[in-house]
Structure 1
Amino acid sequence: MNTYRNRPDAIRALVQEDRVHRDLYLSEEVFALEQQHFFANTWNYLGHASEVPNAGDYRAQDIAGRPLMMVRQADGGIRVFYNRCAHKGTQLVSDERGNAGKFFRCPYHAWTYKLDGTPLAIPIKGGYEGTRLRECESGQGLVALKHVAVYRDFVFVRLGDAGPGFEAYFGEVLQAIDNMVDRSPEGRLTLAGGAMRNVIHCNWKMYLENINDTVHPMSTHESATAAANALWQGRAADEPKPMAMEQILPFGSGYDFFDRMGGRVFAHGHSVLGVNFSIHSNYASLPAYEQAMREAHGAERAADILQRSPQNSVFFPSLSVKGSPQAIRVIRPLAADRTLVEAWAFRAAGAPELLFERAMSYNRLVFSPMSVVAHDDVHLFESMQKGLRGEGNEWVSLHRDYKAGEFDVPTQTTNGTNELLMRNQFRAWAEFMTLDMVEAAL
């Protein structure tokens, strides 16, 4: 049944000011339309330049069902191609990452391409004399994405031609990447330690909105924080904490703490949670590192960088950034009820190894499916995915702290428990889902 295809009004009706319809999470038709429209119209995180340091290095990644590969060029630049041979469509690379040398060679019929995608050689070339191959798309080489942006080594792509340009799309939220990169006295990050991957049987929007949900930790993670508190009780307030304790104990800080941390929303679904402080604000100081930061950036700028430790900065719809610890999560939708979440850690050039250890520790402690935190979330996400099929109520509430006309100002600061941060995501979803959708003729 065609409920939503070529019906932008029906799509927009799924998102109301203070609630959203369950089809946003359950409908396979809606997910198929997201693949076609929404993810084509938004800027999505592809990878990090440090993953392809040398000429010929590639990183393969699917986005919205399209196979892509990020390739380091001979001149040091980065280009992104569709991972398919121009001949029969065979994927040129099947590994997640590697080095192609000076050219790509199709494993099927040995058509080869330069690193910039132009054709290099074709077996039995004489058989194509007098044919239309030169005029055909197949004779032009690999198809490069037109919309690629590399910002402080973070690589983003937009698959379609609709939608705003990179700077206009992200705007002020790019400062969260600046804050993360500038924590390196040399202004350079490198992905390290590999990815921690978790496939969750839930819709991707459940995971993304939970990143801005500050009310759930006290109940969802009650057992984890209770266990940590039991182990740490009776210790002196100024006693240095082991890294795991330093990272887990703040999860039980209480509603008032999370409300006072504050949040900020931006146009196009982006947000920063923890604009005043966060659970990451009180890590042990590192005097030598702080001095190196002052020498690199100046005292005022160094203080500004180090004092800002937001809980999460969301680059809607695919990336969540933590400046401290220096970790990111990447959301990769696979189906209406299946989402791949990747957690990555960065090593900051010129910074002590402890910063990288914090990022790795936090990812293991909080994002690993075997951690004392993530299994709580995963259980509830999958429970929500099943529970929403219950009849009698087709809507998901986003009423908390709702105020009429709240989106008259696209960029604004609010309290940390306000569901405005989630409502902002769904508003953007409706906008970009229907941006290039043409109403079917009656």
Structure 2
Amino acid sequence: MQPVSLRSPSRWTPESLRALVEPDRVHRDLYVDPDLFELERERLFAGAWQFAAHASQLPQPGDYVTLELAGRSLLLLRQADGSIRGFHNRCAHKGARLLGQPSGSTGRFLRCPYHAWSYKLDGSPLARPLQAGYEGARLGECESGRGLQELEGLRVYRDFVFVRLLAGGPDFESWFGEGLRAIDDMVDRSPAGQLRVEGGILRSEIRCNWKTYLENVNDTVHPVSTHESAVRAARTVWQGHGESAPQPMAVEQILPFGAGYDFYDAMGARVHPHGHSVLGIHFSIHSGYGMSEDYRAALEAAHGPERARQVLEHAPQNAVLYPGLALKSSPQVMRVIRPLAVDRTLVEAWVLRAVGAPDLLYERGLSYTRLVFSPMSVVAHDDIELFEGIQRALHADGNPWISLHRDSRGDDAGLLGQPINATNELLMRNQHRAWLEAMLGDAP
């Protein structure tokens, strides 16, 4: 499939792209140049494997989910045989959008609202008005006569649906590699080995570049200063209670943000090829959440004692599947980062219910999403104010470089897959190397 458009200026040659990403810093053009953003959509976001939906959103044949990805309107559709297929959400006749709602059921076939061309669930043509008018015409030799255009790549991994818009590049397993273990850690918190999307999806549009938000997912230095007021408020509410007193869920989730630099540094991290990473390989602010013995026994019965122990003891701060997915196996939430423009980013917060697990796990996810990811929360409004301020300030004259120097000593390549300290900005440098890799493609 050829890209829909490519409006990048000629100045973005392989040489000029390489000049933007140095071993320990990146140029501000990555965050503010609109033409570079258009090039990102065609080379990075259309060529990478990206999360699109969860299979639990499409339980029955004919159920669908629509989304916008890299400037394309897409449609995921449950088939009669139970499989999921993906199509471009446009009629083969004149390009009208077939389905306009975020999700729903189309029944046993699809019908265009413009001229009533209809299609089977597999995208093949079903019927057209005035069929006799096409006799002797070349429609059968044209793409329009073949039905809906199917996506180049679609993979369902443990009910997580990923798509790739362009052919070529690494296959699914090669792209994600060890990053897929983050999904395993989420799914295996269910004794049934199954997750469901529940509670809706919290969507926030932020006036900043998507890289600013994604870098912050791996930034363990900012909570000490950025979220000081939120932690102070939680401490004020809870003051006077003994250390052994059971904490309300909100207090349990906010107070750990106030841990010091030593705590965050010692939680550890790993980076993997293609920009993926795990933050909090030893412990995290989520490690103190209590679990019942009945739940532990249910996991042991389902997965075996050793796997149950691994699942319960491993609670990373964040696992990033580059370029747009951030997972928290505890408290079973994830964020999907969808770039809209060079200075606008849509962030989706999803809550996943672990089937067969206590309701407490699901309630934690709902509470954490409200407290931390809602733009009106006591945490996110601090971040958003800073993100949008960064976007404005980067246009100012002066130093054009973004510093990523912390713990940069020329040994980054040898640290792939190895434990590192969690305040190491290799977590961000690794994302930018993946960015450059995707942007260069096959360039010499």
TM normalised by structure 1 equals 0.97
1:405 to partner: Cα distance: 3.3
CA distance in 2: counterparts of 1:241 and 1:116, whole angstroms: 52
CA distance in 1: counterparts of 2:237 and 2:107, whole angstroms: 53
CA distance in 1: counterparts of 2:245 and 2:440, whole angstroms: 55
CA distance in 2: counterparts of 1:410 and 1:104, whole angstroms: 47
What are the residue-to-residue correspondences of 1:38-437 with 2, within 5 Å? 38-436=44-442
Instruction: For residue 163 of structure 1, give the secondary structure of its aligned residue in structure 2.
Output: coil
Instruction: For residue 193 of structure 1, give the secondary structure of its aligned residue in structure 2.
Output: strand
Q: Deviations over 1:158-177 (max 9, x none)?
A: 11113100000000111110
Task: Give unpaired runs (5+ residues) of structure 1.
Answer: none
Match of 1:29 among 15, 35, 39: 35
Answer yes or no: is the 8 Å Cα contact 2:8–2:38 preserved in 1: no
Q: 1:118 to 1:5 in 2, by over 3 A?
A: farther
Q: Which portions of structure 1, spanning 4 or more consecutive aligned residues, are displaced by more than 4 angstroms?
A: 1-6
Amino acid at match of 2:74: L
1:23 to partner: Cα distance: 0.4
Answer yes or no: is the 8 Å Cα contact 2:8–2:39 preserved in 1: no
Instruction: Indicate the larger mover: 102-111 or 294-303.
Output: 294-303
Answer yes or no: is the 8 Å Cα contact 1:41–1:435 preserved in 2: no
Answer yes or no: is the 8 Å Cα contact 2:182–2:319 preserved in 1: yes
CA distance in 2: counterparts of 1:293 and 1:412, whole angstroms: 29
1:391 to partner: Cα distance: 0.8
Amino acid at match of 2:220: T
Instruction: For residue 75 of structure 2, give the secondary structure of its aligned residue in structure 1.
Output: strand
Q: 1:396 to 1:3 in 2, by over 3 A?
A: farther
Answer yes or no: is the 8 Å Cα contact 1:4–1:29 preserved in 2: no
Answer yes or no: is the 8 Å Cα contact 2:275–2:433 preserved in 1: yes
TM normalised by structure 2 equals 0.97
CA distance in 2: counterparts of 1:339 and 1:5, whole angstroms: 25
Answer yes or no: is the 8 Å Cα contact 2:37–2:341 preserved in 1: yes
1:297 to partner: Cα distance: 1.2
Size of the alignment, in residue pairs?
A: 438
CA distance in 1: counterparts of 2:8 and 2:58, whole angstroms: 43
Answer yes or no: is the 8 Å Cα contact 1:4–1:10 preserved in 2: no
CA distance in 2: counterparts of 1:67 and 1:143, whole angstroms: 12
Answer yes or no: is the 8 Å Cα contact 2:286–2:315 preserved in 1: yes
Instruction: For residue 412 of structure 1, give the secondary structure of its aligned residue in structure 2.
Output: coil
CA distance in 1: counterparts of 2:318 and 2:183, whole angstroms: 11
Answer yes or no: is the 8 Å Cα contact 2:319–2:327 preserved in 1: yes
Q: 1:371 to 1:2 in 2, by over 3 A?
A: closer
Task: Give unpaired runs (5+ residues) of structure 2.
Answer: 1-6
Q: Deviations over 1:338-387 (max 9, x none)?
A: 00000010111111111100001000000001100000000000000001
1:286 to partner: Cα distance: 1.5
CA distance in 1: counterparts of 2:284 and 2:415, whole angstroms: 25
